[in-house]
Structure 1
């Protein structure tokens, strides 16, 4: 079984509260904390809610004891040595049952009754905070424990249970009633044995194709305007593009925020893809401007905690994650969300759903997410490069400014047409003044 990671000390020093549970502990790292005693006392009730009246708790304990050596090896020995095997097995059972009363095989009626029971015992504030504590890297139990309990209780095959957990998590993050994960066939990790629940959460938010199908040659008409502009820029050389050596020191990007991009003719809109990889950048039909399509994102009171722990998971030494998609996405969003105007622009375009209240609170969430300037080798690197190329194109900038100046509203269009008409009249009048027609 894989190791249950701990948050690197460098990250904890910034704000350890975002990595510690508020109401409930899962696993030994925070077990015994006095401030978590309220939910700890509720855990035996959670066990009874899960196993029901027709099964014996001893059966579940015996199944966990059969794997106890492997389970204890998932944690640091300095934490596991405090407990006997039977004590550790009881801890795993109680913690797992709290989780499985949120997720797992269930009927609608039974799920409603369980939620009502938990609310009556804990209250809605504590109940809603439990999901926040499930997001924590140091507050995980091996997924194998959940599989053992579900197999005993519902006789559910391992692969089916993993798929069900992925669907339930997808519904939760993307408010999708069907729970159909988009482009699931292109994601190799889906359905594989996860280390813990946090890995399930990560899978469903990064699922999605890295690239759209290649457009046909004549997708945008009889001629490729974008290709024509690219060749024109190559012919113009440095006069059509800013000096890259001056502007891009050390691979840093000059463009800042969605409002800055908008001034250069790059407009943001919702991509409609339910995945962090649902980011697309492309020029418009006649290259007047470009579109940056972004997936919609709920920003609520737990967003910062969730992404901080996801970044910590991708940076932890034993995670074996090569593609740091979450860190790459957050690094990209930190470039785009700088001021309240940026949040307003993204709200109006239905990219950000703000549950915090003020737009400044959303800005602060992104500022608090540290990506530690890690080298970006993810899919978002290519998107940022394409944006940078468009941003530095003088021809495209001139076209965007021309469109904004003369085609932004009906009055400027009328004024332009009238000016052109008067200019044509002046040209005709001047010509006939020089070359009068014969009588």
Structure 2
């Protein structure tokens, strides 16, 4: 009865004093509705059969470190629409020169090339983040002209860079290096489809494709074997005979943009490793429902994976008898750990060139992996940098990693600071969970670790080995002498 009386009292009070929402309340509800609508639109890729990562701004999480912000901005030439309003750069005259030269080399007229871009603009436009295009107030006409200039400029710069013929544009080595780095910035990308459209109309499309791959190989941050490069280019040549060769080359998996193509080559190295790695990763990345496949990828790279970690850096690995060796292949996925029959362990790392451009490329690759609609990623570059950060604690660790890290900076301390700074700002994703588990299993073999420590203590130099052998010989001779003395008494 008491509960019924309270309920009746509340209902009567609400009738006499109805709750009215204020304009601010309605504003909040409208904001939530808009957020829900935007969320449904931007993340609907989880339920689509086909979806590529759209060109967008660097995720906010990557901008927390103030020193990193400059690594995402072009310094010499803006290509994509996201930095089209960078007045301090401009360079429209340079892009016009590149475009005019490309038109001449293509065997087509500028009118034909521009019309083809406009013909495909609806498809191309879908490869940009819709919100960014809306905020920039870009109509199809302006976007078509911008992509026409950008695409022709990229192809002609790459052609001239590979053929060492940039002097005709009055570009010195310093400017060439800056433009080269600008082409791999996440916010300075244009869809690879633009390049395909332009190359397909060129009478020399095979040469453009070969130049792109040569350009990628010079920027891959790994020592390129000339035989592997020659074999890879020959494979490309076999893939693209006849007309529309560019379209057929990328029919299986078209690159999103140049940065995506750089990432693919950096991860897989030469063709042999690429084939093996694709076979292993197909069940995670290439087949099935994409929402489910992203879930599988995240499970595989679970940042909260339950494993113990006893090692801290390279010095700990060496103390446990683990040797560091370079991998035979250059792909970042070729990290491996093997344990010998008795005490030896061997960690193989892919060789990586560290120079002035490394930080800029790596950070933009990580930013690309962190894009919310990048469902194909398994955070391989992010995981590799986190792994290196865990191995490097001091300048001495970099010295011990010289077989894998080819230092072109001024000092080993600078390399250590580079990877520690990058690694400390990464969201953890563990693509190398299996490797770390194997290293931990080696640590748990106490006998192997003790023997390795004994070898480190007593076999560090030829003199230490000689002293150890002399001590063993003295003990053996003493034992023999004692035995002979006892035998003579009996």
- Give the TM-score of the pair, scaled to structure 1: 0.79
* 1:334 aligned onto 2:389: yes
Question: Can you list the C-alpha shifts for 1:311-352, whole angstroms capped at 9, x where unaligned?
Answer: 1111111122242211111111111122111111122xx211
Correspondent of 1:123 among 165, 172, 192 = 172
Q: Which residue of 2 is the match for residue 137 of structure 1?
A: 186
Question: Can you list the C-alpha shifts for 1:74-106, whole angstroms capped at 9, x where unaligned?
Answer: 2244543533433222211111122112436x8
* 1:255 aligned onto 2:311: yes
Correspondent of 2:155 among 93, 100, 105 = 100
* 1:275 aligned onto 2:331: yes
SS at match of 1:269: strand
Q: Which structure 2 residue ranges, 5 or more long, are not aligned?
A: 1-50, 237-249, 278-303
Q: Which residue of 2 is the match for residue 64 of structure 1?
A: 117
* 1:146 aligned onto 2:195: yes
Correspondent of 1:374 among 428, 433, 438 = 428
Q: Which residue of 1 is the match for residue 481 of structure 2?
A: 429
Q: How does 1:355-434 map to 2 (within 5 A)?
A: 355-370=408-423, 372-376=426-430, 378=431, 380-434=432-486
8 A contact 2:155–2:208 mirrored in 1: no
Q: Which residue of 1 is the match for residue 84 of structure 2?
A: 31
Cα separation, partners in 2 of 1:68 and 1:354, compared to 1, 3 Å: same
Q: Which has the higher helix share?
A: 2
Q: What RMSD over aligned residues (CA atoms) do the two structures have, in Å?
A: 3.2
Deviation at 1:127, TM superposition (A): 1.8
Deviation at 1:415, TM superposition (A): 2.5
Distance 2:276 2:310 in 1: 26
Q: Which residue of 2 is the match for residue 194 of structure 1?
A: 255
SS at match of 1:273: coil
Cα separation, partners in 2 of 1:251 and 1:428, compared to 1, 3 Å: closer
* 1:12 aligned onto 2:63: yes
The count of corresponding residues between Structure 1 and Structure 2 is 387
Distance 2:385 2:427 in 1: 11
Distance 1:307 1:4 in 2: 17
Q: Which residue of 2 is the match for residue 223 of structure 1?
A: none
Distance 2:335 2:131 in 1: 43
Q: Which moved more, 1:93-102 or 1:419-428?
A: 419-428
Q: Which structure 1 residue ranges, 5 or more long, are not aligned?
A: 214-247
Cα separation, partners in 2 of 1:46 and 1:426, compared to 1, 3 Å: same
Distance 1:194 1:313 in 2: 13
Distance 1:298 1:414 in 2: 39
8 A contact 2:366–2:381 mirrored in 1: yes
SS at match of 2:428: coil
8 A contact 2:98–2:157 mirrored in 1: no
* 1:21 aligned onto 2:74: yes
